[in-house]
Structure 1
Amino acid sequence: MTFQPFAPLPALAITAVLVLALFGWAAFRDLKSPATSRGEKITWGRRAAILVLTLFVATGPSVLEERSEVAYINLDVYFVVDRTGSMAAEDYDGNKPRLTGVRNDMTTLMADFSGARFSIISFDSTASRQMPLTTDTRALSGWITNLNQEITYYSAGSSLDRVREELSMALRQGATRNPDNQRIVYLFTDGENTTDTERLSFAPLAQYVDGGAVLGYGTSDGGRMKTYDPSGYGNSKEYITDWNSGDPAISVADANEITALGNELGVPSTLMDAPTDLSAYSDGFNPELITSEGRRLVTVPQLILWPFTAVIMGLLLWELTWQTRRAARKVG
């Protein structure tokens, strides 16, 4: 037999000591008299049995059982998505926004790694983990479908430093919790960096990365970007303006930055201005091969509560019957 406590052991132990101490004091107070009847002794014995069994159930008595289950795929895929305003630049596949390519490529990669776990980290003015590692592809598809650039009013320019720490944290947590899993990172960006400071290197993250790619979007000629305001108060058909010239701002993809990011992470990189076959960036990670066995035996604890709870219920009914008769005698 093993145990799966319903509360942390220290808290359970402290609670048990306090409850047993109070119970012992109450029992001693009622039973210390030499005139204590046999019925009262039986009553306190019954109550003691209820208390001990309840505390025992709280420890989660279990037996270990072997079960056959489908082995999970030990492959974690991280999608890191640039949502800054520049990703709305209309220089992908003609005059489509760069995010159009991102949506299509995320959908393709999700299908390529069917059965893997996926996580989404996005960054704009801030970085956040939009979705923890999950196999829920419906939720993933919903996020991809609704992917848009950040709200223009809150835009603070482009900086890859914003996502570095969030990605580092996610990868380190994944490596700690599932050290045998393989981790693949796909960074979707145009490489643009509008800050004056030199960005931090992504090289320290490479130790946690087993594959993936830096997928760049846009052209060296650049494209205009429409504003985005989901509230409906702004005009999302207007183009973002260059504050210096007053003309529509132009975002140019930074091919050198995309290459540098790939080198630092130890993964290939590419700059795309049209739909591209991504098979070269997913080869070698066949989820069916990464799963070593189709099924596996696992040992899981199975709670066995019903025998003890049945006894507790019987004792409680006995206590209720006794209390009812006692009250009736007092009334009579």
Structure 2
Amino acid sequence: MTFDPVLPVGWIIVLLLPPTAFIVWQIVRAGGSRARISPIRRLVAVALLGLSAAGPAIPGGTTTEIRSDVDVFIVMDTTTSSNAEDYGDGRTRLDLMKDDVRAITEQYGGARYSLITFDSAAQVRVPLIADPDALLSLVQTLQVEITDYSNGSTPYQANDLLADRLAASKKDHPSRVRVVFYLGDGEQTATVDGTQTFEASKGQFDAGSVLGYGTAQGGPMRENSPEVFVDDQYDEVYGDGDPSASPSAPSASPTEPPYLVDPATGQPAISTIDERNLKQIASDLGVGYQHRVPNTQPTLPDVGDRIGEKVEVKKLTIVERLYWIPAIAAFLLIAWELFIGWRQLAELRTAKPKKVSS
């Protein structure tokens, strides 16, 4: 038997101490043993609630986690162009990015991970956490921005946010190794003023890489919309055109959203990789660039000589949680008390007042 509290122990004490003190006061004030039965029952119910909150469980042994002195920052492109199907079989650039994020977590076991995504705006999707499974679960659910909300994007959208997060990490944990990965296609569809750069992040981390996705031939992009498109809606989007008329675009399916259309041609718009931008970002950051293709593994920098000593942490595993047993017992006692109180109230209401003899 072990305990895995559902709340911090301090909170459990704070929540249970007042009712416990009040019930004990009732027991002390009770005139006889019969009068003490009800408050004793309440005290037992409170004790059972405390036991339930303490989280009784059957232990299953321990597992060992490896924690290293590394923070990994992943910047991921979720603009509409990441939905481009360059690779055949409907696979998108975003699909390949997701595969590479998994490869990153496997390379840097025991690290902490943070995920920044960008489209029309940049945002921190995952703060620094030491749980790769949580990161991967979120990454698998990522989609590109909603098409109707898209107003153009720039591959430099996350530059300020990345610099801020790196600076905060360096301030809080100056001795940790920081690794940065930029995953995107480099395509720019927004008009911006001035020169954009990632140089604000340069020198704030130890290693990293820019990973590029897409092809020079490009691929069509499906819309991302909460609506379900059917055949008659294709006519509204494409007119009399057929989305499969373009040799580079597969045909649309009635169960899938249509492809984005190039207004100039009436055919599916084609997005291509912009390696010039990607190489410039790599130069700004001071890291290497590699073009990613399916069914290959990314080349990830080895930080073993700067990683410091790995720390093994033993973590108790739980086979079965038993908090529900005392919780049910407490519920039954509370229900009993409520029933007795209701019955006593009913008796008082139906009792006939005694006549006073004159």
TM range (shorter): 0.5 to 0.7
Alpha-carbon distance, 1:157 to partner: 1.8
Please say if 1:205 is aligned against 2:201.
Answer: yes
Superposed, 1:1-332 pairs within 5 Å as 72-92=67-87, 95-197=90-192, 199-230=195-226, 232=228, 236-278=256-298, 280-282=299-301, 284-286=302-304, 290-292=307-309, 294=311
What amino acid is aligned across from residue 264 of structure 2 in structure 1?
Answer: N
Note closer, same or farther for the CA distance 1:229–1:139 as it changes in structure 2 (3 Å cut): same
Per-residue CA deviations over 1:223-279 (Å, capped at 9, x if unaligned) read 10001113547974300112333221110100111111111101111122323222x
Equivalent-residue separation in structure 1 for 2:293 and 2:66 (angstroms): 39
TM-score normalised to structure 1 length: 0.63
Note closer, same or farther for the CA distance 1:199–1:96 as it changes in structure 2 (3 Å cut): farther
Equivalent-residue separation in structure 2 for 1:183 and 1:293 (angstroms): 15
Q: How much identity, in percent, do the aligned residues show?
A: 31
Mark the runs of 5 or more structure 2 residues left unpaired by the alignment. Answer: 1-9, 11-64, 231-254, 314-358
The 3-state SS of whatever aligns with 1:77 is: strand
- Tell me if the contact between 1:119 and 1:131 (Cα under 8 Å) persists in the aligned partners: yes
Note closer, same or farther for the CA distance 1:87–1:136 as it changes in structure 2 (3 Å cut): same
What amino acid is aligned across from residue 208 of structure 1 in structure 2?
Answer: Q
Per-residue CA deviations over 1:158-210 (Å, capped at 9, x if unaligned) read 21232111111111111111111111111110000112335511122111121
- Tell me if the contact between 2:229 and 2:258 (Cα under 8 Å) persists in the aligned partners: no
- Tell me if the contact between 1:268 and 1:281 (Cα under 8 Å) persists in the aligned partners: no
Note closer, same or farther for the CA distance 1:265–1:194 as it changes in structure 2 (3 Å cut): same
Per-residue CA deviations over 1:37-75 (Å, capped at 9, x if unaligned) read xxxxxxxxxxxxxxxxxxxxxxxxxxxxxxxxx994210
Per-residue CA deviations over 1:11-40 (Å, capped at 9, x if unaligned) read xxxxxxxxxxxxxxxxxxxxxxxxxxxxxx
The 3-state SS of whatever aligns with 1:183 is: strand
- Tell me if the contact between 2:160 and 2:200 (Cα under 8 Å) persists in the aligned partners: no
What amino acid is aligned across from residue 118 of structure 1 in structure 2?
Answer: Y
Alpha-carbon distance, 1:150 to partner: 1.0
2:18 maps to none
What amino acid is aligned across from residue 103 of structure 2 in structure 1?
Answer: T
The 3-state SS of whatever aligns with 2:201 is: helix
The 3-state SS of whatever aligns with 2:114 is: strand
The 3-state SS of whatever aligns with 1:120 is: strand
**Count of paired positions:** 226
The 3-state SS of whatever aligns with 1:87 is: helix
